[in-house]
Amino acid sequence: MKKICFLMGILIVFMTACQPAPTVSPTIMPTSTIIAASPTPVPTATTETIITATLDPDAGYAQVGDIKMYYVIKGSGKPLLLLHGGLTTSEDWYGQVPAFAESYQVITPDSRGQGRTADGDGPITYHLMAEDIVKLMDILEIDSAYIVGASDGGIIGIDLALHHPERVKALVAYGANITPDGIQQWFLDYIRTASAAELAGGYAVDYQRLSPTPDHLYGLVNKIRTMWLNEPNFTLDELGSIHVPTLVLDGEREELIKKDQPKAIAQAIPNAKLVILPFTGHFAPWDDAEAFNQAVLDFLKDY
C-alpha cells in the first residue's frame, strides 16, 4: 500500500497537469530555492496514529554523533544491516526481517531524520548517513556486517564500501543510482517542481506517527529533495576501487531509476554480480519479497 500511495501521489500530479510541464533547466536548482518553506500546513498526528507508534521490544536508541538513531535487532548470527530508502522507514523491511533473521542477526536502523531517528541541524547527505551507520556499528560493537540497501539505502551501502570496506562483509545494492542524472527524467522533473506536501505523499502519515519532531516534516522533505538533486556523485573510477563482494539488484520494471544504472554499477565494481528481477520494479522488497529475499540470501551464503 505504501508503494501505491507513493506512486499514485506523484503520478496524479504529474499526469493531470492541464498543459505540458515547462522545460526544466539541466542546472541543479540552488539550495536556497529548494529549501523554501511550503505554504501547506504540516498534517497533525491523530491520537490513533500516536497510539500505534509503540516501540518494538527489540528496539533501541543510540547517540550517533549529533542525533539519536533508532534501530531494531532481530535474530542471531552474523550481523546484517538493512538500510531503507529515502522518505521511508525501517518498518518497510517487514517482508525481509523474518526471513533474514532465521540465519542472521538483522539490524534495521532508521536513517537520519527519518522514521524514529532525529534529524540534525545541517543538510543530509549520503556520506553523512553512511558515517552514521559506522558510528552505530561501533556502538553495537559490530566490526563488520553484511549491508543490504534499497534505493537510498543502496547508495549508502556503496558509500560504505568505498570509505569503510573493512566494515562491509558483502554489499547488496537494490535500485541505486550513482549520479542525479541516473534518475529517470520524469521523476527528476517531479522532484524539482513538486511541493513539499506532494513529495512527502504517503510518507507524511509515517512521519507523524513515528518522528520525535513531527512538525519538521517539510523541512526534512526539502533536505532529502536537495540531496536527491545533488547526489550521489560516484565516478566509475571510484566504483572500480571497490573490492567488497557486491550484488547489484534491480527490477526489470524499474520506475524511478534509469535502467542503465544497475548494469553500469555492476560493470564498474570488480567482480560484482548483477541480477535483474522479472515482473517487478523499484519496489521489489514490497512487491515481490520472495524473489528479492531469495536473491539476497543466495548471494550472501557464499560470504
Under DSSP, is residue 223 helix (H, G, I), strand (E, B) or coil? helix
With beta carbons less than 8 A apart as the criterion, state whether 183 and 191 touch. yes
Among 69, 295, 271, smallest CA distance to 175 is for 295
Q: What is the pLDDT of residue 34?
A: 29
Domain range summary for the chain, segments of one domain joined by +: 2-15+55-300
pTM (two decimals): 0.85
Q: What is the pLDDT of residue 55?
A: 78
Among 2, 169, 147, 24, smallest CA distance to 86 is for 2
Q: What is the pLDDT of residue 209?
A: 94
How far apart, in whole angstroms, are the C-alpha atoms of residue 154 and residue 34?
A: 24
Q: What is the pLDDT of residue 240?
A: 98
CATH of domain 2-15+55-300: 3.40.50.1820
One digit per residue, the tens of pLDDT, for the chain of length 303 reads 455 445 434 443 333 333 333 333 322 233 222 233 333 455 443 323 333 356 788 999 999 999 999 999 999 999 999 999 999 999 999 999 999 999 999 999 999 999 999 999 999 999 999 999 999 999 999 999 999 999 999 999 999 999 999 999 999 999 999 999 999 999 999 999 999 999 999 999 999 999 999 999 999 999 999 999 999 999 999 999 999 999 999 999 999 999 999 999 999 999 999 999 999 999 999 999 999 999 999 999 999
